Amino acid sequence: MTPVAITNLGVSLGGVPILRDVSMVVEQHEIVALLGGNGSGKTTLIRGLLGLVPHDRGEIDLFGTPLAQFQDWSRIGYVPQRASVSMHSTTVRELVSSGTLSTRRPFTRLGRTRRTRVSEVIDRVGLAQKADDAFVHLSGGQQQRVLIARALVSSPTLLVMDEPFAGVDLATQQRLADLVGSLHDEGMSVLVVLHETDVFEPLLDRAVVLREGRVALDGVLEPHHGHGHETEPPGRTVRIIEEVRPWN
């Protein structure tokens, strides 16, 4: 079942149209990058498809179910921008544990199975030794890994990431990309908002480029050739060889 199918989406914020007639899909087991300059509507598209901002027009289907009827939120792992976490006194384990709430009823305890799962995903992102540290005392890359762990707790099959590389150094970007790569190997579909394709490039199946709220390009990326490019620095531009969708 197609994890994300968006048809003719229109979103306005405060009366200003942000997205116009956007259509795109994320197929099963695909890693799709959402690219575009500042203000192109990338984050709004992510927020729209998750129902965080209302849309005026178009349809959004998540795993074949219209957004308004979609209930099965444990299938989606959302990794927002780091700045969205406002409770800095929390520990890594507490923050990651909140990922269990999509399947947990109020007034119930965490339970052993979920507790084990929380430890598992913290270990998976390489932060076992930091599990009881305060979130605020971690480096940017480590905080990003915490947010990925939190999204992974419910064993989702679609990961939606909003600029996971913002403010993260290159070595850590590579580690994050490796992590996403190994999740993809296990069957995860990924929609990731990026400023530049950079270290993610070898992993990407497709890129959707937004410009002024419209889909400017939607295409398959040229196979990666390592760092052997001579004419242009690697990872700075998207090289699309097969245009799936022409200019809007």
d(CA 168, CA 175): 11
What is the closest distance, in whole angstroms, from the C-beta atom of residue 84 to another protein in the complex? Answer: 5
Nearer to another protein, 103 or 237 (CB): 103
Nearer to another protein, 144 or 221 (CB): 144
> Least CB distance from residue 145 to another protein, whole Å?
10
> Considering beta carbons, is residue 89 or 116 the nearer one to another protein?
89
What span, in angstroms and rounded, lies between the C-alpha atoms of 95 and 227? Answer: 37
Nearest residue (CB) to another protein, 141 versus 213: 141
CB of 174 to another protein, least distance (A): 10
Task: State both tokens at 5.
Answer: 């199918």
Judged on CB neighbours under 10 Å (0-12, 13-18, 19+), 10 is middle
Distance CA 119, CA 112 (A): 11
Residue numbers of the site for another protein (CB under 8 A)?
47, 50-52, 71, 73, 76, 78, 80, 84-87, 89-91, 94-95, 97-102, 104, 106-107, 110, 126-127, 129-130, 132-134, 137-139, 141-142, 150, 169, 171-172, 175
Rank residues 95 and 210 by Cβ distance to another protein and give the closer one. Answer: 95
**Minimum CB separation from another protein for residue 42, in Å?**
15
List, in sequence order, the alpha helices (H) in the chain.
Answer: 42-49, 92-97, 111-124, 140-152, 170-185
CB contact burial 51-84 (16+ within 10 A = b; e otherwise)? eebebeebebbbbeeeeeebeebbbbbbbbbbee
Query: Whole-number minimum distance, CB 175 to another protein, in Å?
Result: 7
- The CB-side HSE value for 41 (13 A sphere, CA atoms) comes to 26
Counting every residue written for the chain, the total comes to: 248
Alpha-carbon span 142 to 96, nearest angstrom = 13
| Nearer of residues 49 and 217 to another protein, judged by Cβ | 49
Contact 162, 79 (CB under 8 A): yes
Residue 202 Cβ, how far from another protein at the closest point, in Å?
Answer: 20
